[in-house]
A and B are shown apart, each in its own frame.
Chain A
Amino acid sequence: MNTTVRDTAGEPKITPYQSSQPVANDGFLQLLRSEWTKFHTIRGWVIAMVAAAVLVGLPIVALGNTGKDNNSIPNQPIGPNGLAVTDSFYFQHRPIGADATITARVTALTGHTLLPPNKGGFIPPGASQPQPWAKAGVIVKASTRAGSAYAAILVTPDHGVRFQYDFTHDVAGLSGPVSSAAPRWIRLTRAGDLITGYDSVNGRTWSTVGTVRLTGLPATSQAGLLVASPTELYSVQQFANNDGQPFATVASAKFDRVALTGAVPGGTWRDTQVGGASGSVEPLCGADTGRPCNAQAKQRHDVPGSASGSGGTVTLSGAGDIAPYIAIVDPIGLSYKGSLIGLIVVIALAALFITSEYRRGMIRTTFTASPRRGRVLVAKAIVIGSASFVAGLLGAAIAFPIAEHKVAENGWPTSIYPIRAITSGAGLQLVIGTAALLAVGTVITLAIGALLRRSAGTIAIGVLVLIFPLVLATVLPQGPADLLLRLTPAAGFGLQQGNVHYSQVSSACLPYNGCYPLAPWTGFAVMCAWALAGLVVAILVARRRDA
């Protein structure tokens, strides 16, 4: 029996059909539109996304409303811009007029951590070294009142020469450590309101580090030498909880070739402990922090400074810092963690957005219509990411002014927790950051879903990857906890910090206080890197795997 008939001779020639549909551009935008249609045509998903926006906003407001609960706030001096500052240092000074120059050479800067007397306790790393941001240098300051305007040129152990003024501003000069072999010459000139800082390695060739106009500087201001060494806070595991413990540090600096020229009214060199002797230690347990005190934390280290000198050489030692006051407790940042509830909803949505296609076999229809699977996954990621971004943005933006006012109403002083506009840097970081966290979280979940193809497992792994590190970080000692918050996608939560941090300020940074080891946008970049890696793996696997 001949059953194979290939081209039957007798058959009439047939013209193949031509599609009547116009061939449009093969654009990625069409794919985006298609995935968007998929998303918004399932009512349950749209409702869930609206719910996510509400569940971002409501908990932020609710947490912002929980109140200070009798937490007392330390009396911090107020700086020139109205914000609380830390202003305590050992100051050897004399008055100067409107046009004067002060020069000095620093030949040594040493220091160490003061250990609590009880033996066998925690020893901070680097306790025998000077605190990295210890300061020794020359300063022109409106008065010896803590919080008054100033400009200073400073030598630091780890960060070279810095020109700093009015607490929040910092400009880098010469780098490298200081020693008798490599001394640092530093100079400040005052010309009216204008103050310029210079540095030099030899006292002959000078370079300008920075200039600032301190408006309103009184005609007679104080100029002189200073030393300060900030207090360090370490996380110490106490029973089941991590607890912050303060460790005072001291620094000693050797100055010589001190010269004061120009308009120098009468007066003599005087020594002042600006800001009081105990200004170096902030309360870190009990009232302010909402954490129980233990014997070690209660211990305060009063570190009065001192000066000694002979033959033109002066050695100053002391503790303290000249810096913006960084609050340990971050009520706004903590409130924004309420958005985790919204995050978990968008994680579930992202998981369903991809896994429901696999469960029903609709992924085959999708991949038949769009054979380039990588583009499909990217389009899906953009759609779910954008929808989550908008939901997060709405929830976080509406909550922002309410939460800010609640915090003030509950008695957190506005000098430490100013009410900020949503358009301020901190406002934008919190609001856009929260939205971005949700968006990138959904992209990571989508990638997991494309790999796993099962909804329950995808949601679980999504939460384990994004949220579980936060849980683990609160029970681990600070070192490993920091590592978790640097390396896992949870690094992105650093965006939700309400307190402004300054790179030139050593501040207590403990995960349970809502502080993250990486700079906010750096942490977010880590999270984005995970999302990107996940998406790439998902695309590679989707391409290779039979649908």
Chain B
Amino acid sequence: MNAMIECSGLRKSFGATLALDDMSFNVMAGQVTGFVGPNGAGKSTTMRVILGLDSADTGRALISGQPYQTLRHPLSHVGALLDAGALQPGRSGRNHLLWLAHSQGLSAKRVDETIGQAGLEKAIKRNAGGYSLGMRQRLGIAAAMLGDPPVLILDEPFNGLDPEGIVWMRGYLASLAAEGRAVLVSSHLMSELQDTADHLVVIGRGKVIADTSVRELLAAASGDRVRLRTTARSEAMDVLAGAGGTVAATDRDVLTVYGLSAERVVALLSKNSVPFSEVAAHQASLEEAYMELTRAAVEYRASVPASTGPEVAK
């Protein structure tokens, strides 16, 4: 019931290029939903369709159950940041927010509140043409927050932010979700969303590859994988393979064990008196999980990265 953005069966082609191919997903309230995919996967197109800027050939996108075009004062329903550079350089940041506010019947007071929240007080009277990319992103966030909307759609908001800005943005997005807002954040770098996103919609070639909570994705990607450091490599491989595990030698002293829990590995090695110096359950990074997911869907990958090619024993 908490789906604030619903996309169902979106298809759109630009000439011969199929940009969206049956794109369907929902974005829930109270979560930061990461919208991830390689460049050209259709993230921006999907966002433009949701915002009524582009029209889908088929399918529909709803915001709080309504098509965007039917929203009155849409900025009180959805805040969007598509392109932080979309400013007229001769106008100050505050005046940019002011015309947006006037279009929604909002007051200048609301503009100043928003400026405070985005931490933009210093630069706001200067012409936007002189803003750094980071300041433009903050101005874009301020513009998205003008109507205090329950839904936020942000296209690559981390672009151009300095490390401090990235930390600020993460905290800000999390706090917005904690207030019960639905936050859709696109990124082509999964690492940016680590510790920020609660939910992920992973897309490639215009369709959804995965629609999952971050917790489950990580659990699935991590699997039953155990990292083992031992000097007695061949004995350990025999013992663990005999107990039903799959063992791969990943380094001179390091084995990776699949299919056995860390406790079981310790018990088996101890029972057979195989020496080891370290056993650790593996925790996949979001990046790894994502790479695994999108391996098939990457469009513009130059070549398959040379893997270390672990030797596998059974």
Residues of A with Cβ closer than 8 Å to B? 1-6, 8, 13-21, 23-27, 30-31, 33-38, 41-45, 356-357, 360-362, 364-372, 544, 546-547
Contacts and interface: CB of A to CB of B under 8 A. Distances in A.
Interface stretch (B50-58, B225-233, B242-250, B306-314): B50-58
B107 to A, nearest CB: 9
Contacts of A42: 88, 90-91
B211 A6 contact: yes
B291 interface: no
B74 interface: yes
B132 interface: no
Contact of A357 (B26, B83, B88): B88
A365 B101 CA distance: 12
A181 B296 CA distance: 97
Contacts of B179: 17
Interface string B217-229: 1001000000000
Contact of B88 (A2, A26, A356): A356
Given A364-B83, A365-B143, A41 B98 contact: yes
A366 B83 CA distance: 12
Contacts, number: 160
Interface stretch (B33-41, B146-154, B267-275): B146-154
13 contacts: A1-B220, A3-B216, A15-B29, A17-B29, A19-B148, A21-B148, A24-B106, A42-B91, A44-B90, A360-B89, A364-B51, A366-B103, A371-B74
B211 A33 contact: no
Question: Which of A14, A15, A20 is most buried by chain B, counting CB atoms within 10 A of its CB?
Answer: A14
Contacts of B293: 3
B87 interface: yes
A365 B210 contact: no
Contact of B54 (A23, A34, A360, A547): A547
Given A16-B29, A34-B103, A360-B88, 15 more contacts: A3-B211, A5-B211, A13-B2, A14-B31, A21-B106, A24-B106, A26-B105, A37-B98, A38-B88, A41-B95, A360-B89, A365-B86, A369-B75, A369-B104, A544-B55
Contact of A547 (B53, B75, B216): B53
A17 B145 CA distance: 13
B54 A546 contact: yes
Given A15-B29, A369-B74, A30 B88 contact: no
A8 B213 contact: yes
A14 B51 contact: no
Given A30-B103, A37-B95, A37-B99, A23 B72 contact: yes
Nearest to B221: A1
B212 A5 contact: yes
Interface in B155-183: 179-182
B174 to A, nearest CB: 14
A355 B26 CA distance: 35
Contacts of B8: none
Contact of A16 (B69, B71, B82, B182): B182
B72 A35 contact: no
A17 B150 contact: yes
Interface in B282-314: 293
Contact of A24 (B91, B95, B105): B105
Contact of A21 (B26, B110, B143): B110
